[in-house]
Amino acid sequence: MTAVAVVRSETTLPFQVGVIAWHPSNQWLAAGASRLPGAHSPVGGLARVDAATGLVRWHLPGEHLVTSMAVRADGRLAAALQRSSESAGRVKVLAGATGGTLFDAAGLGEVRYSPDGRFLVHENSSARTVLVDAATGQLVRDVGDGVAMAAFSSDSATLAVAEGSRLLLWDLTTGTLLSTTPLTAMPMDMSFRDAGNRLVLCRGAKTTVVDGRTGTVVATTTLDLPLQVLDSIRPRRISPDGHVIAALVARGVVGCRVDDGQRLFFSEFGTGDFRFTGPLEFSPTGDHVAIDRGFGVAPDQPRHGVAVLDTRNGAVLWQDVRDDVSAVAHSPDGTQLAAAGRGASGNGFVRIYHARQLELSRRRVRGRVFHVAAGAGRIAAADDASTATTVDCVTGAVLAQRSHTGKLTAIAMSDDGRHVVTGSTARLVHLFTADKGVPVWAARLGGAVNGVAIGGERIAVAGADRTTRLYPRDAGADPEQQSPLWTATHPQPVTAVALGAHRVATACNDRVTRILDIRDGAELHRISHPNGKATGIAFSGDLLAVGVTDGTARVVDATTGATRLHVTHPSDIVAVAISADGALLATAGAEPAVRLWHVGGTGQPLRTLPQAGPVTALSFHPADRSLAIATEAGVVSIVDANGVPLGHSAHPAAVRHLVHSADGRVLATACDDEHVRAFTTIPL
């Protein structure tokens, strides 16, 4: 199974997006309407979208479709526009800040800026390829006849123009034509390499390398492609360094070396292609290639989304199988990937992904994961097959796996990642080493274990036998029956336990949450909630958050017992979390939404954040106020203190639990697809 995608932002647009182009700053991109497969009465349009927030800064409606776009460093946007009912078009240069027109001219086809921003090349109304001054639009010179493909050298000193029958090389410093080389057909892609000394052209299964000044053919290579009908005219892309070619074929994507044609990988996506073409783009470093995930699949299989492949071996690094993608583009610095197309509603969309693989690892376990814990470099998962599994966060390697008698009910991991404690309906508590699963000690209760917690050198246990027990982490005289430091008896079964620095909190079926002295278990304070039972308790320093099924939540000072915040929720609360600085409370109920509250505030929510489905778990980052939200829809969202989305990942099934490691470097998720996953929290 491949990694899940992590989305930074997404935007809905009133037109079906077919062309996207990034600004060199990596902060925004332009999205244009284009003719898409299956589109009826296409609607034109052009918009600027902020990458971080998804906000649309401006939108130009109209009947024009966009055939090509390019963005200059100063924000000028060049777009080739064409009415859907006409063959003629115009090339417009717009101000990136406002969308206002700076100048335009009759023209069509591909538009491309030189790397230094001085020149713009495009096809004019006379079907000639022209080089114009990028600042004024004034003609510099004709550089080719008819429909052509153009490429600039990285130093902007040379322009290559490939027509159907010839290749022209221009010296842009002197304005002279350097060479003319015969061609048999228009290349599918063309790119300079080796500091402009070589030019690579590709068409079908052939690559040609020519001298970047004289146009002399240096080498011709046949690529090792599994060609079928129409494969020879499908898209090809040359890597930024000019040494690898990616090719769409009937069953997927093939990567080959330019110099000898040797196949590097073949990623198959189906038994036959029923879509003629699709987007195909290298990352700036060439180590990844992004493709339309719907390409090459059979008619009865999902035909949606984007996939990112490792160009070393063709492995799918991550994918998102939602929506029909028609354009993909990496940001210039390679940290983001934009995918755009048509959504299920028929509107267009632009979705910005973190191009870096933020999913560190994933591991399939023996059943559906219902709870997860995280320590330094390791995570522990509890599944419904009554197995506890510890996993290395980075590699995903299984470190230990222990089966339990009875139903596994609870799991926790020490902050240092050394130990895991579990509880089960067999009335047993087990402490074992995380790296090898070696037993440290065991303890037997008088009833099922309902909850466990580790804090420093202490372990707290909530029991159905109406007790809360505190154990030392180190083994005692009898490791087969560890003796507690103290036992606190409750009127009814204890359903949950939380450990603070100086206090222990317990939730009990008598509808009272108690705060106990960590030294001897003596009751210090009690929080009564007669109309419901506590569904979540969580410490942040000396503050305790309590969520109740009657729709109320409280934040209580565990030292004094004073209530700092008391809020009312529109439905039974299913999850609570409190930020590390104690300033924010997050609550979730039965409805698909999360509410943020200011501790010490008026009791009115600061923000209400709609979610993709019912919320299952909440976790604040231990070093800041960013909040992770898990849902039954499989979407995990990250928001900042103001509720602004920072990103989200789409899991293939419901996410039942999530948690940050104590050092904040890892976010672990528990999913119904029988996988536990570790995500890096940087840069989220």
Q: What is the largest CA-CA distance in the chain?
A: 94
Across the chain, mean pLDDT equals: 90
Helical (H) or strand (E) element with 573:
none
Question: Can you list the domains of the chain with their CATH numbers?
Answer: 3-357 (2.130.10.10), 375-603 (2.130.10.10)
Segment 264-277, tens digit of pLDDT: 998 876 555 444 46
Q: Which pLDDT belongs to residue 44?
A: 81
Strand segments (E) across 236-287: 236-238, 244-249, 252-257, 263-268, 280-282
d(CA 268, CA 375): 38
Q: What would the mean pLDDT of 5-26 be, rounded to a whole number? A: 92
Q: Give me the count of residues in the chain.
A: 684
d(CA 471, CA 486): 7
Token digits of residue 32? 């244009």
Q: Which pLDDT belongs to residue 107?
A: 85
Nearest Cα neighbor of 68 from 123, 143, 136 is: 123
d(CA 618, CA 588): 8
Q: Which pLDDT belongs to residue 646?
A: 76
Segment 29-51, tens digit of pLDDT: 999 998 644 444 457 889 999 99
d(CA 616, CA 45): 40
User: Hunting for tokens 């699949």 — which residue is that?
Assistant: 297
Segment 75-98, tens digit of pLDDT: 999 998 887 556 678 899 999 999
CA atoms within 13 A on the CB side of 484: 19
337 DSSP 8-state letter: E
- H helix count then E strand count, the chain: 0, 64
**197 against 345, higher pLDDT:** 197
Segment 216-267, tens digit of pLDDT: 999 999 999 987 766 677 889 999 999 999 998 877 889 999 999 999 998 8
Residues 6+ apart with CB under 8 A from 300: none
Strand segments (E) across 549-644: 552-557, 563-568, 575-578, 584-588, 593-598, 607-610, 615-620, 627-631, 635-639
Q: Which pLDDT belongs to residue 277?
A: 60
Q: Which range is least confidently modeled, 113-122, 347-356, 437-446?
A: 347-356
Report whether the peptide linkage leading into residue 115 is cis, meaning its omega lies within 30 degrees of zero. Answer: no
Identity at 667, one-letter amino acid code: L
Q: Which pLDDT belongs to residue 220?
A: 96
Taking a C-beta distance cutoff of 8 angstroms, is the pair 380, 390 a contact?
Answer: yes
Token digits of residue 346? 């028929």
The pTM (predicted TM-score) of the whole model is: 0.68
Segment 334-346, tens digit of pLDDT: 999 999 998 878 8
Query: Order of strands across the sheet with 458-463?
Result: 449-455, 458-463, 467-472, 486-489
Phi, psi of 232 (to 5 degrees): -70, -15
